[in-house]
Amino acid sequence: MICINNLTKVYKLTRKQMQEQKTKKNMKKAVDQLSLKAVPGEIYGLLGPNGAGKTTVLRCVATLLKPTDGSISVGGIDTLDKSEEIRKKISFLTNEIKLDPQFSAKYMFNFFGRLHGLDEAAINERREYLFNYFGIKGFEDKKIDELSTGMKQKASLAVSLVHDPEIVIFDEPTTGLDIVTARSVTDYLKLLKEEGKTIIISTHIMTEAEKLCDRIGIIIDGRLVMEGTLDEILKDTNTADLEDAFFELYKQNSREEACI
Amino acid sequence: MKNGTKNIIKKELTRVFTDKKLILSLFILPGVLIMVMYSIMGNLIDNMVSDIGDHVPNVYIQNSPEGLEDAIQAAGFKANINYLKASDETASVQDSIKAGDTDLLVVFDENFMDTIYAYSGNGDAIPEVKTFYNPSEEYSSTARDSFVNSALQAFRQTLLAERVGNVEQLQIFYIDKVPESSVVMDEGKATGKSLSMLLPFLINILLFQGAMSLGVDAITGEKERGTLSSMLLSPIKRREIVNGKLISLAILTSLSAVIYVVSVVIGIQNLQGGSMGDISKLRFSPVELVQLLTILLVLVYLFVAVVAFVAVHARTQKEAATYVLPMYIVVMLASIMTMFSGGADKGIKYFALPIYNSCLCIQNLLVGELTIQQYGLTIGTLALLAFLVSALVTKAFNSEKVMFNA
């Protein structure tokens, strides 16, 4: 389970970043008093435009960033207390995190398996299962550099799941993927849900959120402006589909910039 | 050692040693190039020397005294000699020497022999032989040296013998009749002395160069490619990742430095025809060997940590290369300072200056004069600094601002 309580994350901007963002303030509130809960056996979707703070929330959950204020508990452990323990339980995948292109998918899988403290037998068994599922088996000895974009993404996904984590965090899972690869990724997320894993994803693709997520949290300018199932959101916003609901909420909640 | 660290070391070494192109560009090519470069330089110098030896100089002699020709022949001085009379103009010959076309002009005083024979002592005139040559021309200065030291010397000896009868009367005593037997030295120490000027400098800059080229790619490169983040997500402490990176870099740097140093030493020996001394004559006691290895080990770790500290703060490899350059210059300066210190005994306080002290230590080790205090202070300061810098690297790895620009 993931429990986020009043998470606030403030970034200090460099002079260059201040110029780029055309602001005179040297602080930017990327996430503002955000609370949510993702439970086992569901896919929770964070929906929001670019720069809304989705990635920051997920990075805080994955212990890569520390909250400025508020707290996050992952699998019952506070992220500030035992980050290594949390990293044993989670898988975090984003397009920005990549596998070393000079190694084969097999080498990378074994390497991260060892870093997670798995023995060789467990690594081999897990690799057989995941590589077969994602169709990587025939390419497992090829260098990551030589794989297609879709195959690279599937290899990254398989490697991130080497330790059979109970919590899966996925930042923009289908961005940049072709339709076939995207489908295999979303299908696997559904499978993980059936296995009782806790899954939280971020997306700005409405159809993906509609089809995949059990509950959706809409995040605009760092604040969670609405949360619920698709039906609840449509009902509350009195709209026919998620896109309309999103724009309705965007009109009500968007502000020029989230600076303090 | 923690498992995480071990796995990272193994991965980093595998990355280099399974990449043929990397092995070639990191280890083989630089070593071969250094040796080839020095061998070519050696050959060129040999060619130059033999060319000077083969050259037959153009020499003009004015007022040549009687008997000089015989002395020239007896001394084996080979040259195209033109004899000038007292009335001949020598300005054009001097111009020709300046232009490099003529090598030497020798002017004997007029009535040279008469003046010599008229000498009876007590302030009588002594004639002069005046030479004109061009020191900026190798042919000219060699011709002058050869003429003065062989032909003219032989001619003077002949005249001396005529004047005093028995030349031995003037000898009074000999100095080193067999010069080779006068040399009493420890060949190992002599070799150490000649190596001690260059080797510490080379070791320092080559070690830093290795750390620089490998470290920037292993840290900034991984950060830039997004592959470091995947390691940061694994359930190990950042300290383990830093240790894994630093130790693997230290191993690779040491290896490349060994190859570079061996290539340079072999290259220089080829270049100088062995005048650097025979390396096989160098003898280290087991204690000295341990001292040398520990100094190098701590130095490598320090360099790797310094490069890692710079590399982790840079966003791109280009930026890292720019940041690391001033460090390289500092290392170079500290090393160059010891090259020209002239082997003077240094006070113990100099052994507290990191990097400079490692050069001094290696210098003293090569001549067998390193004291335990000097060694202890050097190791202590280097290790302390390496520890502090690696702690700063770990701090940077823990910083979300540095790692994720957050």
B20/A contact by beta carbon, under 8 A: no
B156/A contact by beta carbon, under 8 A: no
CATH of domain A2-97+164-253: 3.40.50.300
Q: Enter the DSSP assignment of A203.
A: E
This complex has an ipTM of 0.88
Q: Which domains does chain B have, with CATH numbers?
A: 3-44+188-404 (no CATH), 52-182 (3.40.190)
Contact B15 A103 (CB under 8 A): yes
pLDDT at residue A260 tops 60: no
pLDDT at residue A106 tops 90: yes
Q: A-B interface: how many C-beta pairs under 8 angstroms?
A: 72
Burial group, residue A109, by CB count within 10 angstroms (0-12, 13-18, 19+): buried
Q: Are B381 and B357 in contact (CB under 8 A)?
A: yes
> How far apart (Å, rounded) are the C-alpha atoms in residues B136 and B45?
17
Q: Are A222 and A50 in contact (CB under 8 A)?
A: no
Contact B230 A12 (CB under 8 A): no
pTM for the structure as a whole: 0.79
Q: Are A222 and A4 in contact (CB under 8 A)?
A: no
- Indicate the length of chain A as a whole number: 260
A101/B contact by beta carbon, under 8 A: yes
Contact A116 B14 (CB under 8 A): no
Phi, psi of A222 (to 5 degrees): 85, -5
- Suggest the residue from A13, A15, A100, A104 to mutate for an interface test with chain B (most B CBs closer than 10 A): A100
Would you state the pLDDT for residue B277? 52
Contact A112 B234 (CB under 8 A): yes
Q: Cβ neighbours of residue A28 under 8 Å, at least 6 residues apart?
A: A10, A11, A13, A21, A257, A258, A259, A260
Would you state the pLDDT for residue A13? 80
Q: Are B16 and B23 in contact (CB under 8 A)?
A: yes
Phi, psi of B289 (to 5 degrees): -65, -45
Q: What is the pLDDT averaged over residues A180-195?
A: 90
- The pair of structure tokens assigned to B288 is 């000295």
Q: Cβ neighbours of residue B98 under 8 Å, at least 6 residues apart?
A: B134
Which residues of chain A make contact with B225, given a CB cutoff of 8 A? 98, 100-101
A102/B contact by beta carbon, under 8 A: yes
B294/A contact by beta carbon, under 8 A: no
Distance of CA A112 to the CA centre of its chain: 19
Count the helix, strand and coil residues of chain A and give each as a percent rounded to the nearest 5.
40, 25, 35
pLDDT at residue A63 tops 90: yes
Mean pLDDT by 10 residues, chain B (406 residues): 88 90 85 82 82 89 92 90 92 94 94 90 88 93 93 90 83 84 77 74 84 90 89 92 94 86 74 56 76 90 94 92 92 84 70 88 85 93 95 94 80
Half-sphere exposure of B178 (CA within 13 A, CB side): 2
> How far apart (Å, rounded) are the C-alpha atoms in residues B46 and A1?
79
Torsion-angle region of B277 (φ positive above 0: left; ψ -120 to 50: alpha; else: beta): left
Would you state the pLDDT for residue B341? 65
Query: From B229, which residue of chain A is nearest by alpha-carbon distance?
Result: A97
Burial group, residue A141, by CB count within 10 angstroms (0-12, 13-18, 19+): exposed
- The pair of structure tokens assigned to B60 is 């003009």
- Suggest the residue from B6, B26, B230 to mutate for an interface test with chain A (most A CBs closer than 10 A): B230
Q: Are B130 and B104 in contact (CB under 8 A)?
A: no
Q: pLDDT tens digits for A194-225?
A: 999 999 999 888 888 888 999 999 999 899 99
- Suggest the residue from B1, B233, B243, B316 to mutate for an interface test with chain A (most A CBs closer than 10 A): B233
Contact A100 B403 (CB under 8 A): no
pLDDT at residue A175 tops 60: yes
Torsion-angle region of B182 (φ positive above 0: left; ψ -120 to 50: alpha; else: beta): alpha
Strand partners, A260: none
Considering only residues 198 to 227 of chain B, which have any Cβ-Cβ distance to chain A shorter than 8 Å? 222, 225-227
DSSP sequence for B319-335: HHHHHHHHHHHHHHHHH
Q: How many CB atoms neighbour CB B19 within 10 A?
A: 14
Distance from CA of B252 to the nearest CA of A (A): 17
- Suggest the residue from B6, B8, B10, B11 to mutate for an interface test with chain A (most A CBs closer than 10 A): B11
Which residues of chain B make contact with A64, given a CB cutoff of 8 A? 229, 232-233, 400, 403-404
Considering only residues 136 to 175 of chain A, which have any Cβ-Cβ distance to chain B shorter than 8 Å? 159-160
Would you state the pLDDT for residue A33? 92
B401/A contact by beta carbon, under 8 A: yes
Which residues of chain B make contact with A99, given a CB cutoff of 8 A? 227, 230
Contact A62 B233 (CB under 8 A): yes
Identity of the amino acid at B191: T
Q: pLDDT tens digits for A128-154?
A: 999 999 999 999 999 999 998 888 888
A250/B contact by beta carbon, under 8 A: no
Query: From A28, which residue of chain B is nearest by alpha-carbon distance?
Result: B406
Phi, psi of B129 (to 5 degrees): -110, 120
Closest CA to A191 of A27, A31, A17, A43: A43
Calculate the alpha carbon distances from A70 to A9, A32, A257, B60 in Å: 9, 10, 22, 99
Torsion-angle region of B76 (φ positive above 0: left; ψ -120 to 50: alpha; else: beta): left
Calculate the alpha carbon distances from B377 to B289, B339, B348 in Å: 17, 21, 8
Contact A97 B226 (CB under 8 A): yes
Would you state the pLDDT for residue A255? 63
Which residues of chain B make contact with A87, given a CB cutoff of 8 A? 233-235
> How far apart (Å, rounded) are the C-alpha atoms in residues B390 and B166?
79
Beta strand A2-12 with A69-74 is antiparallel
- The pair of structure tokens assigned to B336 is 């160059």
Question: Quick check: helix, strand or coil at residue B187?
Answer: helix
Strand partners, B59: B81, B104
Would you state the pLDDT for residue A256? 47
Torsion angle defined by CA atoms of residues A87, A88, A94 and A95, in that order, rounded to the nearest 10 degrees:
110
Question: Quick check: helix, strand or coil at residue A110?
Answer: helix
Would you state the pLDDT for residue B345? 66
Strand partners, A224: A219
Question: Quick check: helix, strand or coil at residue B23?
Answer: helix
Query: From A169, which residue of chain B is nearest by alpha-carbon distance?
Result: B233
Q: Are A200 and A2 in contact (CB under 8 A)?
A: yes
Query: From A96, which residue of chain B is nearest by alpha-carbon distance?
Result: B226
Would you state the pLDDT for residue A78? 92
Instruction: Please list the alpha-helical segments (H only) found in B216-272.
Output: 222-225, 227-232, 238-271
Would you state the pLDDT for residue A141? 94
Torsion angle defined by CA atoms of residues B147, B152, B154 and B157, in that order, rounded to the nearest 10 degrees:
-160
Task: Find the helix packing angle between A105-115 and B3-17, rounded to 10°.
Answer: 160
Q: Enter the DSSP assignment of A223.
A: E
> In which residue are the tokens 């002079």 written?
A15
Question: Quick check: helix, strand or coil at residue A126?
Answer: helix
B11/A contact by beta carbon, under 8 A: yes
Which residues of chain B make contact with A114, given a CB cutoff of 8 A? 3, 7
B119/A contact by beta carbon, under 8 A: no
